[in-house]
Amino acid sequence: MNAMIAEFISSINDIDADSWQRLWNTDYPFIQHSFLQALEESQCVCVDSGWEVQHLLVWDDSKAQLLAAMPLYLKSHSYGEYVFDWAWADAYQRYGREYYPKLLNAIPFTPATGPRLAIDEKEDPRLLTQFIIDHLQTTAKDINASSCHFLFPDTVTKAQLQSQEGLLLRDAVQFHWFNRDYKNFDEFLETFKSRKRKNLRNERLKVAGQGIELRQVEGPDITEEQWHRFYHFYHMTYLKRSGRQGYLNKEFFQQLAKNCSETIMMVQAFNGEEMVAGALYFKDQKNLYGRYWGCLEEFDMLHFEACYYQGIEYAIKNRLTRFDPGAQGEHKIQRGFEPSFVYSLHWISDSELSPAIAGFLQQERQQVHEYHRDAGTYLPFKNDVNS
């Protein structure tokens, strides 16, 4: 293996956008330089928010060529991750040990599976991955970080990480919609059992019956006033549900409008001339991602319409193959979202606690797989849609 140099940078702006984009070579929206920049420049991701930026770059020995990159953070808590390790932190505390800080390879506040490690296509991925994991483990010990975590990797990244010893695999379940070459929403509904199909149609009729009009607006066509309204909806809805402000501030959405609009679609709900709710989606060439929602007041079934059914219609119309509406939510099953495995990998530095966590994950995996099988029995389809 040729000599390589590993470097941690404290801002995505410390690497030029062209070099970053060229290495990743993907349209996955959340790894784009502009998206990470929006998180950082808005201060949603910073030391004060508990997300200290430590993006990892690997160069050749002359620092002339970027060989690999990984979005990375030093975390002082476990909020905004959607892979829950609070029990592990409690175990550390009971044993008189510190769980934080920890190193985290993830997209902040984004439980959407995707690439988490970029390696130059001319390089040996196994050797680069080994170099990176070795460097992260050494760094964790040097700075007294308890662990390294890799959240929601895609198939390629997962395989690269699993090739390394000492990483513990964790399984979880989300609910995703898959496009099986449907021509329109009605054709999708024809795959449902009669009663389930009727229920869903009734939900959509309830929204129309309240005089609500839905519009799908592409990112470049969203006006400044509509962005302002959407942020107000998002903020008020988060405050109402959780009693605190959302992770994301107005500056973040302003940055999205300025630099990420091509990856965005907004479903807007109007009551007469007034915009009363909105759902913000991201997209790439194959996938749709439902991310943020907010409303001015509660309308019956509007959340389902704006966040699920409009997304399905958009995916069919634009021939997208998968719609990931976000984490959790068993209510998605009866609406045609199928249980799907998602993953994370974990390296625990402590030689005593690591085997205990490995045992916990083995037991949890059995439960998760049982849950996945059970959830599949509640799908609304007439027959196995995969047959």
Check: CB of residue 336 under 8 Å from CB of residue 188. Answer: yes
pLDDT tens string 43-64: 999 999 999 999 999 999 988 8
Domains of the chain (ranges, CATH numbers)? 4-172+341-376 (3.40.630.30), 180-320 (3.40.630.30)
* Nearby residues of 227 by Cβ (< 8 Å), 6 or more positions away: 253, 254, 257
pLDDT at 173 over 60: yes
Residue 243 has pLDDT above 80, yes or no: no
In the chain, the percentage of residues whose pLDDT exceeds 90 is: 93
What pLDDT score was predicted for residue 385?
56
pLDDT at 387: 40
Kindly report, residue by residue over 25-45, the tens digit of the pLDDT. Answer: 999 999 999 999 999 999 999
**What per-residue confidence (pLDDT) applies to 264?**
98
- Give backbone dihedrals phi and psi of 149, rounded to 5 degrees, phi first: -130, 140
* Ramachandran quadrant class, 8 (left: phi over 0; alpha: psi -120 to 50; beta: rest): beta
**Contacts of 250-254 spanning 24+ positions with Cβ under 8 A:** 251/41, 251/42, 251/43, 251/44, 252/38, 252/39, 252/42, 252/44, 253/227, 254/42, 254/227
Output the average pLDDT for the chain.
96
- Reported as a pLDDT band with limits 50, 70 and 90, residue 13 is very high
pLDDT for residue 63: 86
What percent of the chain has a predicted confidence (pLDDT) above 70? 98
**What Cα–Cα distance (Å) separates residue 265 from each residue in 27, 93, 307, 334, 339?**
15, 44, 12, 25, 25
pLDDT for residue 372: 98
**What's the average model confidence in pLDDT over 255-276?**
97
- Tokens 């630099």 label which residue? 259
Is the pLDDT at 246 greater than 50, yes or no? yes
Average pLDDT for 149-155: 98
Instruction: State pTM to two decimals.
Output: 0.96
pLDDT of residue 384: 60
Query: Mean of the pLDDT values across residues 329-339?
Result: 96
